[in-house]
Amino acid sequence: MGDKTYTTASGKVLTEADLDAIADEVEHAEFDVEVLTQRRRGRPAMGSAPAEVVPVRIDPELKAALEAPAAADRSPTSEVIREALRRFLTSPEGERRVAPQQPGGVEMTSEPRRPVWRVVWLVALPLLSAASVAWWRMGELAEPFGSDKNYSLPFAEDNATRIGVAGAVLGCVVIAQLVRTRLDLGQLRFVFGSVLIGLMFGMGLRVMTAITGGANIGGGAFLMFGIPIMTVATIVLAVRAARWRPSSS
């Protein structure tokens, strides 16, 4: 019959001979009493401050997925969770969703910046791009015998092609940025609304600056009604874009 064995908490198997050797070493070894008395009981520290317990509810499938690598590595499930969090926070997706490291710890996404980002990329830039392209493609408007250029924009007329091409390039940049950041379908309504307003503004500005032979009725109507309506619509879009939150899946 073999010697009796003992298994430690870490999984190591010890025999009676191993225990006798350990006891003999402890009996004859010299230890620093001050070092031993300074040691504190409890779990080892995992950071610069005492660790905190964060309760998290997970579904059975996720729990099973966590227990599989933990059992394979003979590691606690909590260590698998901590390692997964570390990898996520250091990944490109994690860095995009969290702010830079602060003295008090990791600070989550900075909300004051994100609303500004949404207003710029979902409203302002699509509107400007559409207005520039509409101004360029519609071309200069003039009545057959018109000669009144009091409301024309000479600089814009002389650089209409440059303005249009710049607007088209800006539109491509906006599309690339929205695709890169994984545009949510809920955000498309802001982009479509901004493009529609931009197109109407570009065409309306052409009408307002048309060369006429008398009163520019269309330009006056656009100035009195079109611009105020589009201004209100743009403000509403900007406010809703700033307050928008992704739908939880």
77-134 per-position pLDDT tens digit: 888 888 888 887 777 666 666 555 444 444 444 443 578 888 898 999 999 999 999 8
For the chain, the domains span 113-243
**Nearest Cα residue to 156 out of 104, 193, 209:** 209
Question: From CA 97, how far away is CA 117, in angstroms rounded?
Answer: 13
pLDDT tens per residue, range 162-196: 888 999 999 999 888 888 776 667 788 899 999 99
Compare 23 and 196 and report the one with higher pLDDT: 196
**168 close to 129: Cβ distance less than 8 angstroms:** yes
- Which among 49-53, 95-99, 234-238 has the top mean pLDDT? 234-238
How much is the pLDDT for 2?
Answer: 54
pLDDT value of residue 108: 40
At 137 the three-state DSSP class reads helix
d(CA 131, CA 174): 14
Cα 196 to the center of its chain, rounded Å = 26
Specify whether the CB–CB gap between 187 and 117 falls below 8 A. no
Backbone angles phi, psi at 101, to 5 degrees: -60, 130
* Tokens read off for 66: 């966590």
A 10 A CB-CB count for 237 gives 24
Dihedral sign, CA of 84, 85, 90, 93? positive
pLDDT of residue 20: 78
Closest by CA to 66, choosing from 79, 55, 56, is 79
Against a cut of 0.85, is the pTM above it? no
In whole angstroms, what separates CA 119 from the centre of its chain? 14
Q: What is the DSSP letter of 212?
A: B
Say if residue 40 is exposed, middle or buried (CB neighbours under 10 Å; 0-12, 13-18, 19+): exposed
Kindly give the pairing relationship between strand 5-7 and strand 13-15.
Answer: antiparallel
The percentage of residues in the chain with a pLDDT greater than 90, rounded to a whole number, is 17
Distance of CA 232 to the CA centre of its chain: 28
Whole-angstrom CA distances from 96 to 87, 183, 235, 241 are: 13, 14, 28, 19
Return the higher-pLDDT residue of 205 and 34. 205
Measured distance CA(199)–CA(130) in Å, rounded: 5
